[in-house]
Amino acid sequence: MLARGLYLHVLRSSGNGHGESNDVPDSFDPDKAETVGTKRVQMNYPEHRTTEKVARMCPYCERPFTGRHGVLIHLGQMKGKAGHPADPAEDFDPADFPVVPLDEFGNIDEVVGGDVQLPATQRRLDEAELEERVRAYIADLRKRGDDEAADEAEALLYGN
């Protein structure tokens, strides 16, 4: 293993001298690691890789990642943690990872397609529906001639 990969290996492993998972022992020094074997390998990297340039949302933690591949890497790193599946499926449908537009701060604005509803989006929809119902109530009060109650309701709604 390469030294940079060795640290991650120790971090992600447990037992057999690795320590607990997600904890690297203080005594660990990748420069002094014992070499237990070597093997020559050949890597065949594609000259061109098709990658998505859209943000897709992890359906388990609702965080955005770059493309389907980004979500798959995230699922591999999080398997079995924080509500993520312990054995993520190898073949996901891209619809499992909804495309999400991000605001200027990298926060998800809304979910495009799919049946996923973000809590913040649902809260905005609920607030808009409530405001619409209050406006209809105020209009009904005015129609019945109860301008005083309508004025009080408007003051509560608009903070006047």
pLDDT in tens, 70-84: 888 888 888 888 888
Token pair, residue 57, equals 């949302």
Which pLDDT belongs to residue 111? Answer: 63
Which pLDDT belongs to residue 38? Answer: 80
Could you tell me if residue 114 is left (phi over 0), alpha (psi between -120 and 50 degrees) or otherwise beta?
Answer: left
CB atoms within 10 A of CB 3: 10
Q: What is the mean pLDDT of residues 124-151?
A: 86
Query: Where in the chain are the domains?
Result: 3-32, 55-96, 119-158
Bigger pLDDT: 139 vs 50: 139
pLDDT in tens, 84-119: 888 776 656 666 788 877 777 777 766 665 555 555
Q: What 3-state DSSP class applies to 6?
A: helix
| Selection from 80, 75, 82, 77 nearest residue 57 by Cα | 75
Q: In angstroms, rounded to a whole number, what is the distance separating the alpha carbons of residues 31 and 64?
A: 35
